[in-house]
Every structure is written in structure tokens, then in C-alpha cells.
Amino acid sequence: MINYLQYSSSGVSGLGFIGSVLSVYVVGKISEKGGRQNWFQYTLNKSRLDRYYWVLAALSSVNLLVFILIACIYKYKDPESVLEQGDENGPLNGQQEGPEPELEPEQGESGQPEDEDGAQ
């Protein structure tokens, strides 16, 4: 299990690094269209990183608005109705379908069913 967690965290970190490199590349290509200067230069004095961070702030705002929209539209399911209905793949939580199975009477050491008071 520990190996799985290590591999998955490395994979998620790798996807994050790839995403950040792609965002810098795409914003750089879009910013230099029309003969304008690229926002990412070799020196910080010539770069326009403030504009890049405004782009990131705008993307985060859009993400927040989408989250709020989906959260407002989402309808919660009633837990009791879900347990009663079950699933189309079968019953939930180990529930058995159909009538309850009949229990066999308890047997003593001799194999004979015991009475209510424990006598055979």
C-alpha cells in the first residue's frame, strides 16, 4: 500500500509539473502573437510576469465559479431511500434478496436438537 501511495503521489506531482510548463508555454506563445513582446524574457526587468499572474487569477476565478454553479445544481440523495432501493447491480451492504432464510435449530453434542431449556 505504501508503494502505491508513493507512486500515485509522484504521478500527481509529475502531472502538476507538466501542467505548469504547458501553461507557461501556451501563455508565452499567445502573448507574442501580433508581433508583441513575449511576457517571459531572460531578465525579470523585461518580463511581464504580472500579466501571467493575472491570467492565473482569472483561471482560478473561473474554476471557483464553475464549482459554485455545480454545487448549487447538485441534488443530494436521501440515504434511507438509497438503502431501500438498493442498486441495479444487486443489494447494498451485504443485504440478501428475497425472503429471510430459515434458521436451523441448535444441536447439542449428540447431534440431536435441543429443547428450549437445553435438554435433549
Q: What is the pLDDT of residues 47-56, one digit of tens each?
A: 999 999 999 9
- Report whether 98 contacts 91 (CB < 8 A): no
Q: Does 26 map to a domain?
A: yes
Q: Does 92 map to a domain?
A: no
Q: C-alpha dihedral over 31, 12, 65, 75, to 10 degrees?
A: 150
pLDDT at 112 over 70: no
Continuous H helices in the chain:
2-31, 49-73, 79-85
- Report whether 80 contacts 92 (CB < 8 A): no
Domain housing 74: 2-79
Q: Does 48 map to a domain?
A: yes
Q: Does 118 map to a domain?
A: no
pLDDT at 111: 59
Mean pLDDT for 33-45 is: 89
pLDDT at 103: 64
pLDDT at 100 over 90: no
State the Cα–Cα distance between residues 94 and 98, nearest whole angstrom: 13
How many separate domains does the chain show?
Answer: 1
Single pTM value for the model: 0.56
Q: Does 41 map to a domain?
A: yes
Lowest mean pLDDT among 7-21, 59-73, 75-89: 75-89
Q: Does 43 map to a domain?
A: yes
Q: Does 98 map to a domain?
A: no
> 4-16 burial, b for 16+ CB within 10 Å, e for fewer?
eeeeeeeeeeeee
- Report whether 113 contacts 105 (CB < 8 A): yes
